[in-house]
Amino acid sequence: MTRKHLPSIFILITMSLLLLTGPAIQAVKAEDTIKVGILHSLSGTMAISETSLKDVALMTIEEINQRGGLLGKKIEPVVVDPASNWPLFAEKARELIDKHKVAAVFGCWTSVSRKSVLPVFEELNGLLFYPVQYEGEECSNNVFYTGAAPNQQAIPAVEYLMSKEGGGAKRFVLLGTDYVYPRTTNKILRAFLHAKGITDADIMETYTPFGHSDYQTIVTSIKDFSAAKKTAVISTINGDSNVPFYKELANRGIKAENIPVVAFSVGEEELRGIDTKPLVGHLAAWNYFMSIDTKENKEFIKKWQDYVKKHNLPGGDKRVTNDPMEATYIGINMWAQSVIQAGTTDVNAVRQAMGYQKVKAPCGFDISMDAKNHHLHKPVFIGEIRADGQFDIVWKTPGPIRAEAWSPYIPDSAKKVADWTYPWVCGNCTAPKYK
């Protein structure tokens, strides 16, 4: 290396080090706001689903600020983009808690992103609100799960399909994208179906890779499989692959009357990308639908549409609300209530206050947080797709049902108890910690 340009290189390296440390030095400032982190992918493959959640979180925070904020302070959202990159989720989570000192984080969509940030939240004692339906089998003291556990979505849907009204299905195709949520859900469902007397011969389980777009072969095998008995498809296909799947179904003339498909990851937002006329009658199970006819929901939708208009968000008046958006909305409101009740944003105090917290949710029910397992009590709705991309609600539970963090249908997890109150104080124990 010649000597001439060495100084410049040295300066460069030092500068890049400074670039790194610079923001850290800035961060030490007087705190006149309450900071909360928003950890949703705004780019990469998951941006398609997660951007709406960021928007609805900002809307909810704006609403609380307009009411005067919390404890006399405004909430200041810190939005970061983990770019659908799972290690980056962990890095950003650490940055939010360590550098920005956020009081709580609202974020994550995929299970893998949640698994990636989980050790960070436990290590730094942060607070994560996770708004998406997921596979369960987890209960952290640092996470509040505002989406559905499998027993709040999958099992009621299958029960409906087996009922006379749902078509009395005798055979089931469990079709999913190959990752943890479909795998676990299908495992639970298989055990559940066995319990209902359906044998393995009448269950077909198939997985496709992420982003799979050619469903010709699979639709054919579904059709062949359905020749013997009344068949229903239970789809845990991930967002992106749903369009090609439904298009293939529609074009092959498979109607919901013959082979109904019930999906757990298809909501109003996903249907926006599909021509729904040929899909009329296919089902989805959620804890919220935009078409729910309640006063609270009308207000929620109006707020959202006003927010979209005011901030000129892409999509304009075509933007819809969906289940994870409602879950985000509930989560932030519940957190705000807890902060007011605790009188501080201290994580331990807020966590204590979260238990049994209740909000009147857009779905029309009083939704409460379970102090024991950190999951919401949620009602289940089953909707049939309409030609306009909305859902007709054809079935619902009489009231909210409690989440089972550990499924009783998986032998290893059936023994486990998730209970963060005395004397258990444990998310995955078989005996109380304090006897």
Nearest to 307 by CA among 65, 37, 34: 65
Single residue of 68, 71, 196, 273 touching another protein by CB under 8 A: 273
Q: Smallest distance, Å, CB 225 to another protein?
A: 11
- Which residues, numbered 214-233, are part of the site for another protein (CB under 8 A)? 214, 216-218, 220-221, 224, 227-229
Instruction: Indicate whether 149 belongs to the interface with another protein (CB under 8 A).
Output: no
Residue nearer to another protein on the CB measure, 42 or 301: 42
Q: Both tokens of residue 162? A: 């087996």
35 near another protein, judged by CB under 8 A = no
Whether the Cβ atoms of residue 175 and residue 189 lie closer than 8 Å to each other = no
Q: CB under 8 Å to 198, separation ≥6 — which residues? A: 170, 171, 172
Nearest alpha carbon to residue 243 among 282, 221, 275: 275
Q: Is 337 in the site for another protein (CB under 8 A)?
A: no
Specify the amino acid at residue 435. Answer: K
Write out the two tokens for 74. Answer: 């405004």
Work out which of 56, 104, 106, 116 binds another protein, going by CB under 8 A: 116
Q: Are strands 143-145 and 128-130 parallel, antiparallel or unpaired?
A: parallel
- From 57-65, 270-278, 355-363, 367-375, give the range in contact with another protein by CB under 8 A: 270-278
Residue with tokens 């799947």: 245
Does 30 bind another protein (CB under 8 A)? Our answer is no
Nearest to 225 by CA among 243, 245, 205: 205
Q: Can you say how many angstroms the Cα of residue 293 is from the centroid of all Cα atoms in its chain? A: 23
The residue within the footprint of another protein, chosen from 278, 324, 362, 379 (CB under 8 A), is 278
Least distance from another protein to the Cβ atom of residue 297, Å: 17
Q: Which is nearer to another protein, 240 or 326 (CB)?
A: 240
CB-count exposure of residue 209 (10 Å: 0-12, 13-18, 19+): exposed
Report the site for another protein in 356-415 (rule: CB under 8 A).
Answer: 384, 386-387, 392-394, 412-413
Closer CB to another protein, 139 or 342, in the complex: 139
- Interacting positions 281-310 with another protein (CB under 8 A): 281
DSSP string, 21-60: HHHHHHT-----EEEEEEE--SSSTTHHHHHHHHHHHHHH
432 binds another protein (CB under 8 A): no
Name which of 163 and 421 has its Cβ closer to another protein. 163
The residues in 117-136 that bind another protein, with binding defined as CB under 8 A, are 118-120, 123
- Residue 82 touches another protein, criterion: CB under 8 A: yes
Burial class (CB in 10 A: 0-12, 13-18, 19+), 66: exposed
Q: Which two tokens stand for residue 199?
A: 């044998």
- Establish if 94 lies at the interface with another protein (CB under 8 A): yes
d(CA 158, CA 391): 18
The minimum distance between CB 255 and another protein, in angstroms, equals 7
- Residue among 33, 35, 69, 207 that touches another protein (CB under 8 A): 207
Using CB under 8 A, count the residues that bind another protein. Answer: 121
Longest Cα separation, the chain: 85
Q: One symbol per residue from 164 to 203: x for binding another protein (CB under 8 A), - otherwise; what is it?
A: xxxx----------xxx--xx--x----------------
